[in-house]
Structure 1
Amino acid sequence: MSVVHLATKPHVVHGWFERITSMNRRRFLAALGATSALAGCLGNNQSADGADSTDTPGTAGGSNATRTSSFDLPVPKDELRRGAPKDAIPAITAPVFSDDWSGFDEVNVTLEDSFEVVGVELDGIARAYPLAILNWHEIANDAFDDRPVVVTYCPLCGSAVVADRLVAGEPTNFGVSGYLWMSDLVMYDVRTESLWSQVLATAIRGERTGDTLSLIPSTISTWGEWKASHPDTEVLVPPPVSDTIRGRQSRSYDVNPYSSYRQSGRVGIGFNDEVDERMHPKTSVIGITAGGVARAYPLDAVKNAGVVNDTVGELPVVVASSTDGTLVAYVRRIDGSVAEFERDGSALVAAGSRWDLLTGRALDGSHEGATLTRANDRSPMFWFAWADFNPDTEIYGR
């Protein structure tokens, strides 16, 4: 039987997080790092198929990659589209973790190496959140030791966003509002009932309008690749073992309700007036923004290149993908100097060290143990979603 624990400590965390507010709540300048329902669309068991930086200890290079995008806030209510009733997609509120899914009588699905997961490594703890679960629940309220964290996934946009779940400096749970904005999941916080854009990680309506959650980097990978790079990882166990905002509910976790949607050219559930047609809307891209420049790196282009050494604005970056199609982006600055990366099988090579592709950690050489800084703080996402939130984006290779 696997060792299991609950990550549900409701501690108040002070000191390490400052709430970011806009001086003018009518206008929000959203500081985006880089990247990354039917979000808010599916109820019980429905299917979408018809419907100069400072180096820090242990870090190879710092990053000042930011982007400012303007959005008028609060978002007018008529721009929100109702996809499902509130909490019809029940967010996970009491997650249970183990080393796999075996040994649980309530779980009738085998966790396969090919399953995609949202991977998070924080404070020395590695956890995987399978999309087989997040497709049905979209939000997992968690805690890494005493640090409250929310893990979110929008199946419509293919975007994972992980953040500290603090509202006005206090921990709170997040739920699925059932609304969509720009075809993206709209969350609500239990404490104030404000509405939050998942991709922006920003409150767009309600008491906390203009507040922004502090982001935590995440990766979308396969379970096999993630556990190979993180041998001590834990993995989220599906409900009813994990509890939800509506109690111990369960779904058909062996069924992907978005399988046809991901392959089609359809965008959202019909609320997108304009779609950037430079690429297929469901092309997987990893986006980076810096110095007023936004650039998307399509999976196929990165795969064909093997490794991409590039500069976005004035930020030197390296972009690569794994055999399973995991896209990663790092700042290619090591000990204050810009490095040129090469590929050695599944590893990146630069400055006399081999670097793990998934973690950015130096495996050997003079930099062994150091970690590259992420160039993106949102996961890869579908092209249409990246372009919606970054309308002036460039495309690598074009």
Structure 2
Amino acid sequence: MRILALLLTLLAATALAAQPEQWRSEWPETDFAKTSITNWSEIRSGGPPRDGIPALSDPKFLRAADARRIEGREPVITVEIGEATPRAYPIRYLIWHEIVNDTVGGVPVAVTYCPLCNSAITFDRRTRAGELTFGVTGKLRHSDMVMFDRQTESWWQQALGQAVVGKLTGTTLKTLPSWMESWDQFRARNPQGLVMAEPPHNRNYGSNPYRGYDTARRPFLYSGEDPPHGISPLMRVVRVGDRAWPLSRLSDAGEITEAGVTISWAPGQASALDSGRIAKGRDIGSIRVRDGRGRDVAHDLMFAFAFHAFWPDGRWMLGR
């Protein structure tokens, strides 16, 4: 009880400190007067300072056949754009860096992963303000990563792909189709594909610093409502627009066609947020979302609490 009381006190102190005045020295170029945030206490420090989680830019790549560090069941984010060679961005790296600024087939992209929400989204970095490069603020809102662009120092909500503080407030990034699958699944389909090489940083790549997180009772630094319908806060859901399909329903069915999309599930991908070694995580399977013409559809595989936090009026696709 003493430890619980201390944690509650620390959380309260964090909420009280969440005011723009506290951040201006670190963010002198951010226009805090322009924002869509109505309650600043929603923004909390996740621990690391600005760029304490170092985003990557212009990473190097290897041919899939030449990669030796990645184990077969490890998750990767797959990006396939036009005629460009398919690329895999291993979660063993993104769990430590969260953002990769890259260019694929002439399209400037930001491949993002928020471990606390299990949210993996790829954005087009082109906006009306020009091409942006993204970093990690070290701040969280509803436990989701708050990004920033280096051109205007506006803050962006990763789950929404939308600027929420600063000059570009209200601007929304275009979401590009990408998906999480196992390394084995990627290279079986793309033997000549590319995989991001290990970054030149001193990190214990392949380990999971969030061991046991996706079976915890509560999300980290989240004080919002639980999802409805008795759904566990840390249940994975497939979000397409403002709809969410529980992963448990998809794994039972194998494939579901609803609301204009077909969502398929296949075994073979390890959870990145389970075991101390990512490759040893339990099998959660892989998802692919396509439209009626067989084209890949932009989606996210996120935790249920995050879907409810950012889409409180969203539709839960429970099959009832």
Q: Same fold (TM over 0.5)?
A: yes
Give the match's secondary structure for 2:80: strand
* Partner Cα separation in structure 1 for residue 82 and residue 240 of structure 2: 24
Q: Within 5 Å, give how 1:126-205 maps onto structure 2.
A: 126-205=86-165
Give the match's secondary structure for 2:108: strand
* Partner Cα separation in structure 2 for residue 274 and residue 74 of structure 1: 18
Q: Within 5 Å, give how 1:231-310 maps onto structure 2.
A: 231-240=191-200, 249-267=201-219, 269-277=220-228, 278-289=230-241, 294-310=242-258
Q: What's the offset of the Cα at 1:252?
A: 0.3
Structure 1 segments unaligned to the other structure (5+ residues): 1-71, 104-108, 241-248, 335-371
Q: What's the offset of the Cα at 1:260?
A: 1.4
Match of 1:8 in 2: none
Give the match's secondary structure for 1:380: strand
Q: What's the offset of the Cα at 1:101?
A: 9.1
Q: Within 5 Å, give how 1:376-391 maps onto structure 2.
A: 377-391=298-312
Within the candidate set 33, 38, 42, 1:79 is matched to 42
Match of 2:5 in 1: none
CA contact (8 A) 1:159 1:378 kept: no
Match of 1:396 in 2: 318
Q: What's the offset of the Cα at 1:285?
A: 1.5
Quick one: structure 1 residues 140 and 101, their matched pair in 2 at CA, closer, same or farther if it must change by over 3 Å? farther
CA contact (8 A) 2:225 2:305 kept: no
* Partner Cα separation in structure 1 for residue 130 and residue 122 of structure 2: 17
TM-score (norm 2): 0.77
Which structure features the higher share of helix residues?
A: 2
Match of 1:317 in 2: 261
| Deviation string, structure 1 residues 45-95 (Cα, Å, up to 9, x no partner) | xxxxxxxxxxxxxxxxxxxxxxxxxxx814543321111210000000230
CA contact (8 A) 1:81 1:179 kept: yes
Does residue 93 (structure 1) correspond to residue 93 (structure 2)? The answer is: no
Quick one: structure 1 residues 295 and 172, their matched pair in 2 at CA, closer, same or farther if it must change by over 3 Å? closer
Q: What's the offset of the Cα at 1:380?
A: 1.2
Give the match's secondary structure for 2:212: helix
| Deviation string, structure 1 residues 304-336 (Cα, Å, up to 9, x no partner) | 2232122x2xxx22221012211122223x4xx
Quick one: structure 1 residues 151 and 380, their matched pair in 2 at CA, closer, same or farther if it must change by over 3 Å? same
Match of 1:37 in 2: none
| Deviation string, structure 1 residues 227-285 (Cα, Å, up to 9, x no partner) | 21222211111210xxxxxxxx2210021112211221221x22323121521222221
Give the match's secondary structure for 1:287: strand
* Partner Cα separation in structure 2 for residue 379 and residue 273 of structure 1: 20
Question: Which residue identity is paired with 2:81?
Answer: L
Q: Superposition RMSD on alpha carbons, in Å?
A: 2.0
CA contact (8 A) 1:138 1:153 kept: yes
* Partner Cα separation in structure 2 for residue 146 and residue 169 of structure 1: 18
* Partner Cα separation in structure 1 for residue 80 and residue 104 of structure 2: 10
**Kindly, what percent of the aligned residue pairs are identical?**
36
Q: Which stretch shows the higher mean deviation, 180-189 or 318-327?
A: 318-327
Give the match's secondary structure for 1:122: coil
Question: Which residue identity is paired with 1:303?
Answer: S
Give the match's secondary structure for 1:285: strand
Q: What's the offset of the Cα at 1:200?
A: 0.7
Structure 1 runs of 4+ aligned residues shifted over 4 Å read: 100-103
* Partner Cα separation in structure 2 for residue 152 and residue 138 of structure 1: 5
* Partner Cα separation in structure 1 for residue 82 and residue 291 of structure 2: 21
Q: What's the offset of the Cα at 1:167?
A: 4.1
In our comparison, the structure showing a higher alpha carbon Rg is 1
Question: Which residue identity is paired with 1:272?
Answer: S
CA contact (8 A) 2:64 2:191 kept: no
Match of 1:112 in 2: 71
Q: What's the offset of the Cα at 1:203?
A: 0.4
* Partner Cα separation in structure 1 for residue 261 and residue 149 of structure 2: 35
Quick one: structure 1 residues 78 and 283, their matched pair in 2 at CA, closer, same or farther if it must change by over 3 Å? closer
